[in-house]
Amino acid sequence: MDLELKDAVVLVTGASRGLGAAIALRLASEGARVVAAARSKGALDEVAGRGGGRISVIEADLRDERAVAGLADGVVDRHGRIDGLVNNAGIAPAGRFADQDPAVWKETMAVNVIAPMLLAQAAGRHMIAQGGGRIVNVASTTGVRGKPHLAGYSASKGAVVRLTEALAAEWAAKNVQVNCLAPGAFRTDAQRAVLDSPDLLERRVARIPARRIAEPDELVPLACLLVSPLSSFTTGAIFVVDGGESGKL
């Protein structure tokens, strides 16, 4: 299927590894001009080297509000427009809530909520002015159902879900679609502690009806479709991709 992404300009955050890298590479293979953003310049360059010349990089720390606010403008300065934004970057500090330092929450909210908000705001202005665009926010199943020892992460991803719905309703008439992916357990660095422990992995897989951890490429096609013009009547949707974990009784 042709996703009609040839020469579409898409900004992907957290694109140096895991889900972000996989999404950036597939978008490039579909013909998009991808701007990959993350903190690790070396890792970004490695991803760009696999992108067939269709991925450029921007080194950015999403805890820096000024830098975040200028990312979308930088993409437009470089390419003349911005057709898609994938807000993928995030952090997930774990810990017992009773003992957690408020500073951990502040950093989590800065990266997981404030940065996507600023990016959506800046990109959205350009999209409205140019006649449309698409935003995909990557949340988590913890944004749908909170998890113990991940209170801050759960709260931040829940905020991303509600932000998605609010922006979708506000911008639908402007031809800007805003949707959300809520992935479960994927084989990325975020699951490293589980993947490296046979006991933890066995217990984690036992909670998933599909009885396995997903590969990053299993989220990518849906992400690309939501960035594509083919999804022009899909907005405000939350797509849970977790092998049935959230839906089981």
Alpha-carbon span 214 to 74, nearest angstrom = 34
The residue among 69, 83, 77 whose CA lies nearest residue 30 is: 83
**194 in catalytic set:** no
Alpha-carbon span 178 to 233, nearest angstrom = 10
The residue among 182, 192, 160 whose CA lies nearest residue 238 is: 182
Burial 223-238 (b: 16+ CB within 10 A, else e): bbbbbbbebeebbbeb
Active-site residue identified among 72, 153, 213, 220: 153
Contact 119, 87 (CB under 8 A): yes
Write out the two tokens for 174: 């402007």
Contact 136, 221 (CB under 8 A): no
Active site amino acids:
153
